[in-house]
């Protein structure tokens, strides 16, 4: 059932990406909304009338097909099979590094759970995989956010890559300042974050979540940088550098998981992401996409420390207190960003009015 759904999902992704590339973001967003709602409603109905796991998977497939049909309708004017130049070598010399860069990002995000499953003791592997999966679900929350942001910004970065880097640098700015703090909160209070979503029996995953949150926070920036390099017509950079991270991740998993279990898996991912981010950051500066600003970097670090400290210090012993803690800490964090001039009035207008209008102005 999963493979059957992936077939439709893969085809639908082609059409959805075409909408994205043609700047039809409302239709692109509508495809995602309709697909997700159909999955949710169908799965809940089928499970509630007794079809169990098969009903859930059937609902997912129904939503995928609905999204595919809608995307095909919205892109019906694009006769891509009639496009000239499919045999051009440039297409494949660009597409292959693009594919491997994206593939290595996906692999880096999922190797750890495979390591827990296959490198742990057989008696404990299923239990440990379940615990680690709960930590991974929470740690990956900012990854979904950066995926949505890059989906919107990628066409703009690519279209204006030859003229300026405003789109790429602005994307990186919001990834670091707005999305990364989610990982900081997960790192600061992992036990409370686990308790917010999962039953108390999953408390054993808290330590792994704390360490894994750091790795996924770094991975968020890796995702942004890789997308920027691909959009700026340098797909080989993330393809090569992330391959190094994959090798390091595999080696660490073989050493750490048998000894330290899920904590070893989280450490492996964090180490691999640290090295991957360091390599991509050096390349980003080397290509001249941005200049080094130590003062701004110090301000960002202090802002992160303040936010993490607030989240940790404020009461978070119940679900309600955890939510209040996160809300209050976030408000103060945003005020600190404005105080440090990391966010300005134009950023507020940009976020409220939409990227395209403000940047053009």
- What per-residue confidence (pLDDT) applies to 165? 67
Residues 135-145, mean pLDDT to the nearest whole number: 92
- What per-residue confidence (pLDDT) applies to 299? 94
Buried b (16+ CB within 10 A) or exposed e, 105-141: bebbbebbbebbbebbeeeebeebbebbebbbebbbb
Give per-residue pLDDT as tens, 194-252: 999 998 889 999 999 999 999 999 999 999 999 999 988 899 999 999 999 999 999 99
- What per-residue confidence (pLDDT) applies to 360? 45
Q: Tokens 């609902």 appear where? A: 59
Give per-residue pLDDT as tens, 60-111: 999 999 999 999 999 888 777 676 666 667 777 788 898 999 899 999 999 9
Range of weakest confidence among 70-74, 287-291, 356-360 = 356-360
Q: Which range has highest mean pLDDT (25-29, 117-121, 299-303)?
A: 299-303
Residues 322-334, mean pLDDT to the nearest whole number: 95
Higher local confidence (pLDDT), 288 or 352:
288
- What per-residue confidence (pLDDT) applies to 23? 81
Residues 320-332, mean pLDDT to the nearest whole number: 95
Sign of the four-CA dihedral 303, 108, 94, 150: negative
- What per-residue confidence (pLDDT) applies to 359? 45
> How much is the pTM?
0.85
Sign of the four-CA dihedral 339, 340, 341, 347: negative
Per-residue pLDDT band for 164 (boundaries 50, 70, 90) equals low
Q: Tokens 């390091």 appear where? A: 248
Give per-residue pLDDT as tens, 305-320: 999 999 999 999 899 9
- What per-residue confidence (pLDDT) applies to 73? 92
Give per-residue pLDDT as tens, 175-192: 999 999 999 999 999 999
Per-residue pLDDT band for 353 (boundaries 50, 70, 90) equals low
Give the whole-angstrom CA distance, residue 323 versus residue 196: 9
Residues 13-18, mean pLDDT to the nearest whole number: 87
Give the whole-angstrom CA distance, residue 277 versus residue 280: 5
Range of weakest confidence among 40-49, 84-93, 113-122, 228-237 = 84-93
Residue 207 is encoded by which pair of tokens?
A: 């330590």
What is the rounded average pLDDT for all residues in the chain? 88
Q: CB–CB of 62/39 below 8 Å?
A: yes
Annotated domain spans of the chain: 2-82, 92-292
């Amino acid at each position: 059932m999963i493979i059957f759904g992936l077939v439709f999902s893969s085809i639908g992704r082609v059409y959805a990406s075409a909408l994205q590339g043609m700047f039809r973001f409302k239709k692109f967003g509508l495809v995602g909304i309709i697909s997700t709602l159909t999955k949710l409603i169908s799965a809940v109905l089928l499970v509630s009338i007794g079809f169990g796991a098969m009903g859930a998977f059937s609902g997912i497939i129904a939503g995928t097909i609905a999204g595919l049909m809608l995307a095909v309708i919205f892109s019906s004017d694009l006769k891509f099979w009639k496009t000239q130049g499919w045999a051009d070598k440039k297409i494949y010399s660009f597409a292959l590094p693009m594919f491997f860069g994206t593939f290595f990002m996906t692999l880096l995000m999922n190797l750890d759970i495979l390591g827990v499953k296959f490198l742990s003791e057989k008696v404990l592997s299923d239990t440990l995989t379940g615990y680690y999966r709960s930590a991974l679900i929470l740690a990956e929350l900012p990854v979904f956010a950066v995926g949505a942001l890059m989906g919107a910004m990628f066409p703009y970065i690519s279209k204006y890559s030859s003229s300026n880097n405003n789109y790429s640098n602005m994307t990186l700015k919001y990834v670091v300042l707005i999305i990364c703090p989610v990982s900081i909160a997960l790192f600061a209070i992992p036990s409370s974050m686990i308790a917010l979503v999962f039953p108390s029996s999953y408390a054993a995953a808290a330590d792994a979540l704390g360490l894994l949150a750091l790795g996924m926070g770094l991975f968020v920036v890796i995702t942004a940088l890789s997308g920027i390099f691909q959009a700026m017509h340098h797909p080989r950079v993330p393809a090569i550098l992330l391959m190094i991270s994959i090798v390091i991740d595999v080696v660490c998993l073989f050493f750490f998981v048998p000894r330290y279990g899920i904590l070893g898996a989280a450490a492996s991912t964090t180490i691999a992401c640290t090295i991957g981010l360091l390599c991509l950051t050096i390349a980003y500066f080397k290509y001249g996409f941005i200049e080094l600003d130590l003062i701004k970097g110090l301000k960002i670090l202090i802002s992160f420390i303040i936010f993490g400290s607030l989240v940790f210090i404020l009461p978070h012993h119940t679900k309600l207190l955890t939510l209040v803690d996160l809300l209050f800490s976030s408000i103060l964090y945003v005020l600190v960003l404005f105080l440090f001039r990391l966010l300005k009035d134009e950023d507020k207008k940009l976020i409220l009015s939409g990227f395209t209008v403000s940047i053009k102005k």
